[in-house]
Structure 1
Amino acid sequence: MDMLFFVISFLSVPVLIYFMLRMLMSKVKKAEDGKKNYKKQALITAGVMVVSFILFISLADTVEPEKVEVSGSTKEVADKVEKEPELTEEQKVAADLKAKEVAEAKAKTEAEKKEKKASIEKDYYSKEVSPQIDGSMASYDLIWSELWVPTFEGIADGSVDVYTAYENMKQLELRYGALNDQISNINGDKLSKDNKKQLTEFKSNLKDAALTRKSAGNEAKKMMDKGTFAPSEIDKVMSTVGYADAPMLSAVINKTALDVGFGLIKE
């Protein structure tokens, strides 16, 4: 209501001014009835403004304080939200112990999950991956000992003719080529990211070593085909053989790192 009276009184001011100016500036000064009519309207407007102002002042003191809705109930704005009671020292200690117990239980659960996962991965590696690695490394040495070594020993003592030596080198090339495919097919999909990386490096290094020995066999085969056995040709072949040592050593290091990581051998 106070706002209504305020608006009425506020609007009355320009109305009063309008009529007063119109009355003063009216050119029809002779029309006494008109003047009386304007004066009457102006007095009514002024009266309304004064009455509205008085009512506004009188009602302003009786306005109720603003209220707000808090959690479904009406409260005075001046009311303060009740503070939660502070915990006692015993309650604080109990809360800290409870939080510690929860954290320890969570850590224990995570450790058990990690340990179980590591155990499953170790079992997978030792039963499926490691045998493939061992088999490829064994083949690498077996091909050499069955074909390369006896061939060159036989050439040296005359027990192996050039035709047999040539055929042996052909077989050596074929078998090291097949070994390269065997190494590529070693599967370690269930290993962790770091162990997969170690296995990938192992495969790359062993393949390099196998392909280098294959190249040595090819060079030896060409030398035997010529039948010259010139010192320079023999030296070239033996140099190629030596190039396989470095990647093979790296492959052994990769394999050892995997075995140590899974606890299969001690450092």
Structure 2
Amino acid sequence: MDPADWPQQLTDAVKSELVSRGPYEVKPDFTFPKNEDGRSFHHHVHRQLVNGEKIKRTWLMYSPKRDSLYCFCCKLFSQKAFKLSRHGFNYWKNCSETLKMHENSPEHTKNMGPWKELESRIRTGKTIDKVEMALIKTERRRWREVLTRLVAIIQSLAKRNIALRGTTDRLNAPNNGDFLKEVELMAQFDPVLKEHVAKVEGGANHTSYLGKIIQNEIIDCISERIVESIVSEIIQSKYFSIILDCTPDLSHKEQLLRV
């Protein structure tokens, strides 16, 4: 998760989940935006040891949403409010000196210990709340299975150019659209979706991931992966061509449909 999206209050369960994922990293081909004075962050921000060796600052995170830096362990465990732990740091002119001062500070050193200890306990399965961690892993696996099926349904409908939504988002309504109808059909035979639909219909503020917002987010995620795949093939190809498909509108002007 982008550190800008972290909740204000970090519970033990959230901390364990974030530590198990590790510090957020941007993609190697990410282009950092420039500020008003033309400066920007960059990928190669390493710590140089006294022997000249350069090592990666594994605790450092960059937030694309805020164009700011955060310290992973301090944002998780520090009780003090400073830029690298709360609001983010983006004063690029003195970036190297600030990072050097921070990693040598007592506060950072104090917070590195709980991070590495929790990381080790999670890896070896020796956390104090071992039962709770097992439940979290089970719940994560269940949601992954549910979302896998929802993505498959959306892909199936999209390949056939079938509209997803109807006039309502309620299950088992006559006009709720093809997406929910597919979910209802699969739930009759698939135990994962059957359990999920039962929980949704049971209420209790259960998250459904069946509404129009999550449908649009899944479509956006799929489209991003498709574009990434196309761009990767173009980069690897020696030659490529572009086909333009146009059609006239009501005023008989040609309109570009797709590239």
TM-score (norm 2): 0.22
Q: Which has the larger radius of gyration?
A: 1
Larger RCO: 1 or 2 (CA < 8 Å, sep 6+):
1
Per residue, is there more helix in 1 or in 2? Answer: 1
Specify which structure has the higher proportion of strand: 2
TM-score (normalizing by structure 1): 0.21
